């Protein structure tokens, strides 16, 4: 059975997706100024932290800080993974350009996401690979192949 998501999450996903190449380009430019990929990632996360703290202070709801003690230990690794992602994106953008770096990252994200869904790991609801997901995966990989073929 096909379940169609509502328009708002789809629009939000498009907006978030448009930020990816912008982040790659902005962080690449910052790395050129700072001459340090690690410092670039630290500045990027520092600015993000300031923005998020502002939202927490100005927000209408209060986080359940006490519930944090009940969370599995592995959930705290998101920031570490994110930091590695930012460092990797800066290195990739400098080496490959924003378009190829973004295409490669997106294709890898789709492969990984389908695998995580299929296995139902990291707190995700299990969603087995079906024909539609397999076709989407094939199209993403074909798009990557076209992009790699045209990169020369």
| Parent domain of 105 | 8-58+75-149
- Predicted confidence at residue 17, as pLDDT, reads 83
The pLDDT value recorded for residue 55 is 92
Assess if residue 70 is contained within a domain: no
- Cα dihedral 70→73→74→79 (10° resolution): 90
Is 14 a member of any domain? yes
Structure confidence at residue 7 as a pLDDT band (50, 70, 90): confident
pLDDT digits (tens, 9 = 90+) for 112-152: 999 999 999 999 999 999 999 999 999 999 999 998 888 65
Residue 124 forms part of a structural domain: yes
Q: Is residue 100 part of a domain?
A: yes
Structure tokens at 62: 């209060």
Q: Is residue 64 part of a domain?
A: no
Render pLDDT for 11-65 as a digit per residue (tens, 0 to 9): 888 888 888 888 988 999 999 999 999 999 999 999 999 999 999 999 888 888 8
User: 3 in a domain, yes or no?
Assistant: no
Confidence at residue 3, expressed as pLDDT on a 0 to 100 scale: 64
Does residue 129 lie within any of the structural domains? yes
| Domains in the chain, number | 1
Is 2 part of a structural domain of the chain?
no
């Amino acid at each position: 059975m096909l379940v169609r998501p509502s328009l708002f999450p789809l629009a939000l996903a498009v907006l978030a997706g448009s930020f990816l190449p912008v982040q790659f380009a902005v962080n690449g430019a910052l790395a050129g100024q700072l001459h340090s990929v690690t410092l670039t990632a630290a500045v990027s996360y520092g600015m993000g932290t300031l923005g998020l703290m502002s939202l927490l202070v100005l927000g209408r709801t209060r986080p359940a800080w006490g519930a944090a003690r009940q969370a599995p230990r592995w959930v705290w690794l998101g920031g570490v993974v994110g930091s590695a992602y930012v460092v990797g994106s800066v290195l990739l953008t400098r080496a490959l350009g924003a378009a190829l770096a973004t295409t490669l990252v997106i294709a890898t994200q789709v492969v990984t996401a389908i695998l995580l869904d299929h296995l139902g790991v990291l707190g995700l609801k299990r969603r087995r690979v079906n024909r539609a997901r397999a076709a989407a995966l094939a199209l993403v990989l074909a798009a990557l192949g076209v992009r790699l073929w045209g990169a020369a």
